[in-house]
Amino acid sequence: MASRQAPLCGLAPCCLWLLGIVLLMDASARPANHSSARERAGNREENEILPPDHLNGVKLEMDGHLNKDFHQEVFLGKDMDDFEEDAEPRKSRRKLMVIFSKVDLNTDRRISAKEMQNWIMQKTAEHFQEAVAESRAHFRAVDPDGDGHVSWDEYKVKFLATKGHNEREVAEKIKNKWDLNIDEETQEVLENLKDRWYQADNPPPDLLLTESEFLSFLHPEHSRGMLQFMVKEIIRDLDQDGDKKLSLSEFISLPVGTVENQQGQDVDDGWVRDRKREFEELIDANHDGIVTMAELEDYMDPMNEFSALNEAKQMIAIADENQNHYLEPEEVLKYSEFFTGSKLVDYARSVHEEF
């Protein structure tokens, strides 16, 4: 009898394991509200010449999701990698306090909204410099003849090569205007890229991009015209009634997908809560319940000083436990997860160690 029951008992862990897999699949059925730069890092190499979905220091992703890492990007800048989850906490606390002292320009051991605004603008400028260097390298990769211009056909050859097509064969087919014989999904991506290429091509349009135009193609935050194009694309995707504006209900509307377990419900609740706060406190500047293209553009412009000041006030408010409208060392350490993405323990004791 015992020998008959043994296989049945062995099924229990297996069933639990399968149930766990199903629950995880359900929870991931709908995209998360936020998008993490660290999560995307591994996917970047093979598509280097593609415009990135994620733009450092920009509040929204290309798909309209909130940038999960935004606060860390504008507070840590190029030091983000120093605060990985497996970093030694004591060293991380010290680094965080070094950053605090740099933001605290008047050395009064507290950070004002104006000081935080200046710091945000400084860190954003760093991200801009990184984007320029990255774009310059990618431009050389797609400009094989080195004439300082990249044609749409040259770019298309390089793009299809990243998709596994033979570069020489593609170039020959394009030259002779033969059918490229590509799948429907790749064709759709190409059409979207061509629309973006046209937008980045300054008048008079010739479908030849200079190095600066190619930067705008990859990083729309560097160009007013391309930033407007990005805003139009996001509004087009979220606008349900076709009025080219966004209501609160449209902005917080959940993506397609049904999640039936509690973990999925928590994701949904977080999506609505975070987007509602962002809409009401930062995007809808005149608080009339409607976001226009101009308001969304101002919100997404990383070099908008007024938006940087609003962001600075919000960042301070989140950690300002004594409600004095300043950030103090204890508060920054206690809310280290918000500022660095990592939770640094023993914050009260460490503040005395570092100061």
Phi, psi of 226 (to 5 degrees): -75, -30
Strands 208-209 and 150-151: antiparallel
User: Does residue 183 form part of some domain?
Assistant: yes
Dihedral sign for Cα atoms in the order 306, 312, 313, 314: positive
Q: How many domains does the chain have?
A: 1
User: Does residue 76 form part of some domain?
Assistant: no
Half-sphere exposure at residue 126, Cβ-oriented, CA atoms within 13 angstroms: 14
Q: How confident is the model at residue 260 (pLDDT cuts 50, 70, 90)?
A: low
Q: How would you label 137-171 residue by residue, b for 16+ Cβ within 10 Å and e otherwise?
A: ebbeebbeeeeebbbbebbbbbbbbeeebeeeebb
User: Does residue 174 form part of some domain?
Assistant: yes
Contact 141, 158 (CB under 8 A): yes
Question: What are the tens digits of pLDDT across the range 13-24?
Answer: 444 444 444 334
Structural domain range at position 185: 149-208
> For residues 314 and 302, what is the distance between their CA atoms, to the nearest angstrom?
16
| Three-state secondary structure call for residue 34 | strand
- Quickly list DSSP for 282-332: II-TT-SSEE-HHHHHHHH-TT-HHHHHHHHHHHHHHH-TT-SSSB-HHHH
User: Does residue 74 form part of some domain?
Assistant: no
Residue-level pLDDT at 353:
52
Name the percent of the chain lying above pLDDT 90: 66
Contact 170, 161 (CB under 8 A): yes
Whole-number CA gyration radius for the chain: 24
| Three-state secondary structure call for residue 35 | strand
SS3 content of the chain, % helix, strand, coil (to 5): 65, 5, 30
Contact 32, 63 (CB under 8 A): no
Torsion angle of alpha carbons 329, 333, 337, 343, nearest 10°? 170
Residue 352 has pLDDT above 60, yes or no: no
Q: H or E element: which one contains 66?
A: strand 66-67
Residue-level pLDDT at 354:
52
Residue 45 has pLDDT above 60, yes or no: no
Name the percent of the chain lying above pLDDT 70: 79
Q: How would you label 250-262 residue by residue, b for 16+ Cβ within 10 Å and e otherwise?
A: bbbeeeeeebeee
User: Does residue 88 form part of some domain?
Assistant: no
Question: What are the tens digits of pLDDT across the range 113-160?
Answer: 999 999 999 999 999 999 999 999 999 989 978 899 999 999 999 999
- Quickly list DSSP for 207-262: SEE-HHHHHHHH-GGG-HHHHHHHHHHHHHHH-SSSSSSEEHHHHHPPPS----SH
User: Does residue 158 form part of some domain?
Assistant: yes
How high is the mean pLDDT of the chain? 84
User: Does residue 136 form part of some domain?
Assistant: no
Neighbouring CB atoms inside 10 A of 124's CB total 21
Residue-level pLDDT at 10:
46
> For residues 232 and 236, what is the distance between their CA atoms, to the nearest angstrom?
6
Residue 316 has pLDDT above 50, yes or no: yes
In the DSSP assignment, the letter for residue 62 is T
User: Does residue 180 form part of some domain?
Assistant: yes
Closest listed residue to residue 344, CA positions, set 352, 329, 333: 333
